């Protein structure tokens, strides 16, 4: 399980990492990363992202 990250839209503000209850998101040198082992697809980061760069996988929506 994991949210989908659009790295072209992402502006690396790291806002999503502050709302993630599972510490699944991390901003690294290579961009925003999600740990699929930790992500529960709660969607809080989707809501928090100002750039609409994070989305839930389609089938789960």
Question: Which 8-state DSSP code applies to residue 15?
Answer: H
Residues 39-58 that bind another protein (CB under 8 A): 44, 47-52
Half-sphere exposure of 15 (CA within 13 A, CB side): 14
In the numeric block, the tokens 């992402």 are attached to: 10
11 binds another protein (CB under 8 A): yes
4 binds another protein (CB under 8 A): no
| CB of residue 57 to another protein, shortest distance in Å | 20
CA gap 13, 26 in Å, rounded? 11
Residues at the site binding another protein, with contacts judged by CB under 8 A: 11-21, 23, 26-29, 44, 47-52
């Amino acid at each position: 399980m994991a949210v989908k990250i659009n790295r072209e839209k992402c502006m690396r503000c790291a806002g999503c990492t502050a709302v993630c209850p599972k510490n699944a998101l991390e901003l690294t040198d290579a961009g925003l990363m999600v740990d699929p082992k930790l992500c529960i697809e709660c969607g809080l980061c989707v809501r928090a992202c100002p750039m609409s760069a994070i989305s839930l996988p389609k089938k789960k929506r």
